[in-house]
C-alpha cells in the first residue's frame, strides 16, 4: 500500500509540473503583451549560450528566469527598439557568452545601427571571465560601467587544440581516416599527436585574422592605437580602478549607482526586459510588413532525414526551401547557415533545392559563426553569399574512415567470428583493420566526391575548378579571407543579406518586408522534450564530449563534408 501511495504521489507531481509548463506555454504564446511605458529602456542580459534560434524554455519562464538567448530574437528586439519612441536606451548586462565571434559581431553591428537613432547604449559588467568576446561587443556601447571591485580580464584569443591519438592507442582504438586533402583536419585529433604543418598553417592564419579584427575594433572604439591595445591585452588582468585608469571602462559603479546614472542621463526610465519585449509584435511598430521574404534557418550538423532541434536534416530543410520556391507570394529567400557540415549526401540534397530555387527567385545566404564544408556546400549555389569577417567557412574537402577497436576488444576479452557475403561487407567493421587495398578504395571514393564538390563550387562561384582546388583541399578561411578568394560576395550580417535579397527582388531598400521564418517557433513538444531527447549532456570535459560526438557521427555517416571540431579560437 505504501509503495502504491508513493507512486501515486510521484505521478501527481509530474502531472502538476506538466500542467504548470503547459499553462506557462499558453500564457507566453497567447497572453496579453506587456505595456511599454512612455519612457523605458530595454535591458538585455547577455549570458550563456547564444543560438541562432532557441526554444521557449517554459520552465525558465515559470520560475521567473530569462528566456534562452536567440540571435534572431536579439536582432529583432534591437530593430524594434530603434524605431520604438517609447524605448529611450538599451542596457546590456554582461555575463559569460557562449558563441563564436561572428554572432558577437552580428549583435555588435545591431547595436551600432541602433545608435544611429540617437539613443544611448550602456554596458554594465559585474566582473569578467574570459571576457574578450564580451568586451568586443561592449565597445560598441556609449558607456562601459564596471563594478568597483570587478575583475576585468581581456587576455587575447587562442587556446589549446587537443590530440587523442596516444590516449586512443592506450585504449586499443585506432582511427583509420582518409581525407582530401592536407587541410582537411577534422579527425586529426584522432590520427595525430600534434599539428601537421598544414594544420598549424591554417590555424595560425585563422587566429591571426580574427585577432587583427579584434584589435582594430577595440582601437577605434576606445580611441587608442593598436599597439596600446595589444599592450593592454598582454597585461591581461585589470581590477576596478586599474581598468578605469587604462581607459578600458568609463565608470566604476555599484548597481544602485548605475541606476542613478541612468536617471541622470536619461531622466526617469522604466525597465522592460528582453523577454517581455519579445512579446511586442514587430508589426505594431511598422516592421515585418509588406512583401514576403522567406528566412530559413539551417543550424547544426547536416544529416539525412528529418531535422530536429539544432540539427539540419536534409529532408526538412529541403522541404522548407522547396515550399518557398513554389510559393508565389514569397519574393526572395534568405538562407541563414550556421553549420560545420556533416553528411555529403545530405548536403547535396539541400544544395539541389537551393539551385532550383535560385532559378525562380532571388536566393541569398547569410553565414553565421560557421558555414564550412557541408555548410559551404549548401550555400554555394546562392545568388549572393554574405558572411561576417569572423565567420569560419570554406573547408572544401571530404573525409571518410572508421575506428578499429581490435585491441580494445582483446583487452575486454571480446571475440568475434567473421561471416560475410560480399568482398567489402565488413569494410567499416570495428573488428578489422583496413587493408591497403581498402584504404586506396576509400581514397578513390572521396576523391570522386571531392571532384563533384569542386565542380559545383566552380559553377556557383564562377571560378575554374583549378582555382577552387587551390583554395580548397579542406582549408578553413575566415569570412574576410573567403571574400578575398571569391568564396563570399560581401561582409555583413543578416540585415545586409536582407538588403541584398530586396535589391535582387526589386524591392526598395527602405521598404519593410514580412519575414516568413522557418522553422516556426519551436513547438511545445520540442520545448518540453526536445532538448532532453536530442542533447546528450554527458557532463564530460568539452574535448571528450566532442570526441564522443565525432565517434558517433562517423559511425552513422560514412562520407563526410565536415569541419574540424576545434575550428575556431575561443
User: Which residues carry out catalysis?
Assistant: 373
Residues 145 and 249: beta-carbon distance below 8 Å: yes
CB atoms within 10 A of CB 445: 15
**Cα end-to-end distance, the chain, whole Å:** 57
HEC assignment per residue over 473-527: CCCEEEHHHHHHCCCCCEECCHHHHHHHHHHHHCCCCCCCCEEEEECCCCCHHHH
Q: Say if residues 398 and 453 touch (Cβ distance below 8 Å).
A: yes
Which residue has 564550412 as its cell numbers?
372
- Nearest CA to 177 out of 187, 169, 163 is that of 187
Scanning the structure block, which residue is given the C-alpha cell 544602485?
256
Beta-strand runs (E) in 232-382: 237-239, 251-252, 270-273, 292-299, 301-303, 311-313, 330-339, 341-343, 363-372
Residues 371, 396 contacting (CB under 8 angstroms): no
Phi, psi of 88 (to 5 degrees): -100, -15
Query: Which residues does residue 365 pair with via DSSP β-bridges, in sequence order?
Result: 335, 385
Residues in a beta bridge with 298: 337
Rounded to 5°, the CA angle 124-130-133 comes to 65
Dihedral sign from CA coordinates of 19, 25, 31, 35:
positive
**CA separation for the pair 184, 198 (Å, rounded):** 9
Distance CA 451, CA 457 (A): 10
Contacts of 527 (CB under 8 A, 6+ apart): 25, 55, 56, 57, 58
Paired with 403 in beta bridges are: 175
Query: What is the C-alpha to C-alpha distance for residues 530 and 34, in angstroms, rounded to an integer?
Result: 28
Q: How far apart are CA 569 and CA 565, in angstroms?
A: 11
Q: Residue 535 CB: number of other CB atoms within 10 A?
A: 11
Residue 92, classed as helix, strand or coil, is strand
d(CA 500, CA 385): 10
Burial of residue 234 (CB within 10 Å: 0-12, 13-18, 19+) is exposed
Q: Closest by alpha carbon to 369, among 557, 159, 170, 210? A: 210
Amino acid at each position: 500500500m505504501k509503495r502504491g501511495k508513493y507512486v501515486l504521489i510521484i505521478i501527481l507531481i509530474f502531472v502538476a509540473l506538466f500542467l504548470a509548463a503547459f499553462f506557462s506555454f499558453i500564457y507566453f504564446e497567447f497572453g496579453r503583451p506587456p505595456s511599454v511605458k512612455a519612457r523605458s529602456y530595454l535591458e538585455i542580459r547577455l549570458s550563456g549560450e547564444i543560438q541562432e534560434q532557441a526554444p521557449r524554455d517554459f520552465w525558465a519562464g515559470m520560475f521567473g528566469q530569462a528566456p534562452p538567448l536567440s540571435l534572431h530574437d536579439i536582432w529583432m528586439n534591437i530593430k524594434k527598439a530603434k524605431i520604438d519612441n517609447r524605448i529611450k536606451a538599451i542596457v546590456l548586462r554582461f555575463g559569460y557568452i557562449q558563441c563564436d565571434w561572428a554572432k558577437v559581431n552580428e549583435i555588435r553591428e545591431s547595436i551600432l545601427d541602433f545608435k544611429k537613432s540617437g539613443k544611448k547604449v550602456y554596458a554594465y559588467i559585474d566582473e569578467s571571465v574570459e571576457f574578450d568576446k564580451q568586451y568586443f561587443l561592449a565597445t560598441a556601447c556609449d558607456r562601459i560601467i564596471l563594478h568597483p571591485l570587478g575583475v576585468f580580464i581581456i587576455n587575447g584569443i587562442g587556446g589549446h587544440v587537443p590530440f587523442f591519438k596516444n590516449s586512443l592507442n592506450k585504449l586499443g582504438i585506432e582511427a583509420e581516416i582518409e581525407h582530401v586533402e592536407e587541410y582537411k583536419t577534422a579527425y586529426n585529433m584522432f590520427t595525430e599527436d600534434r599539428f601537421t604543418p598544414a594544420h598549424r598553417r591554417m590555424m595560425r592564419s585563422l587566429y591571426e585574422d580574427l585577432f587583427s579584427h579584434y584589435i582594430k575594433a577595440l582601437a577605434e572604439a576606445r580611441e587608442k592605437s593598436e599597439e596600446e591595445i595589444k599592450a593592454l591585452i598582454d597585461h591581461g588582468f585589470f581590477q576596478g580602478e586599474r581598468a578605469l585608469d587604462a581607459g578600458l571602462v568609463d565608470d566604476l559603479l555599484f548597481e544602485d549607482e548605475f541606476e542613478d546614472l541612468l536617471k541622470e542621463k536619461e531622466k526617469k526610465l522604466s525597465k522592460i526586459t528582453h523577454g517581455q519585449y519579445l512579446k511586442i509584435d514587430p508589426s505594431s511598430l511598422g516592421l515585418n510588413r509588406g512583401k514576403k521574404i522567406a528566412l530559413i534557418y539551417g543550424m547544426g550538423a547536416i544529416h539525412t532525414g528529418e531535422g530536429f532541434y539544432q540539427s539540419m536534416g536534409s529532408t526538412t530543410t529541403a522541404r522548407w526551401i522547396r515550399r518557398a520556391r513554389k510559393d508565389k507570394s514569397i519574393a526572395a529567400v534568405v538562407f541563414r547557415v550556421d553549420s560545420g557540415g556533416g553528411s555529403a549526401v545530405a548536403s547535396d540534397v539541400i544544395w539541389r533545392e537551393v539551385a532550383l530555387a535560385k532559378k525562380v527567385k532571388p536566393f541569398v545566404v547569410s553565414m553565421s559563426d560557421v558555414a564550412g564544408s557541408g555548410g559551404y556546400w549548401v550555400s554555394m549555389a546562392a545568388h549572393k553569399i554574405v558572411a561576417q569577417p569572423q565567420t569560419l567557412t570554406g573547408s572544401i574537402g571530404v573525409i571518410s574512415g572508421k575506428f578499429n577497436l581490435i585491441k580494445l576488444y582483446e583487452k575486454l576479452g571480446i571475440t568475434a567470428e567473421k561471416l560475410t557475403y560480399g568482398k567489402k561487407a565488413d569494410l567499416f567493421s570495428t573488428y578489422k583493420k583496413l587493408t591497403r587495398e581498402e584504404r586506396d578504395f576509400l581514397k578513390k571514393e572521396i576523391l570522386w566526391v571531392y571532384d563533384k564538390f569542386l565542380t559545383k563550387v566552380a559553377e556557383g562561384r564562377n571560378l575554374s575548378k583549378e582555382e577552387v582546388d587551390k583554395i580548397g583541399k579542406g582549408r578553413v578561411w575566415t569570412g574576410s579571407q573567403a571574400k578575398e578568394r571569391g568564396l563570399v560576395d560581401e561582409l555583413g550580417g543578416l540585415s545586409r543579406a536582407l538588403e541584398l535579397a530586396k535589391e535582387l527582388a526589386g524591392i526598395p531598400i527602405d521598404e519593410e518586408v514580412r519575414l516568413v521564418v522557418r522553422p516556426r517557433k519551436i513547438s511545445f513538444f520540442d520545448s518540453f522534450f526536445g532538448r532532453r531527447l536530442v542533447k546528450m549532456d554527458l557532463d564530460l570535459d568539452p574535448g571528450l564530449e566532442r570526441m564522443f560526438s565525432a565517434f558517433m557521427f562517423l559511425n552513422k555517416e560514412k562520407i563526410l563534408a565536415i569541419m574540424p571540431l576545434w575550428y575556431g579560437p575561443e
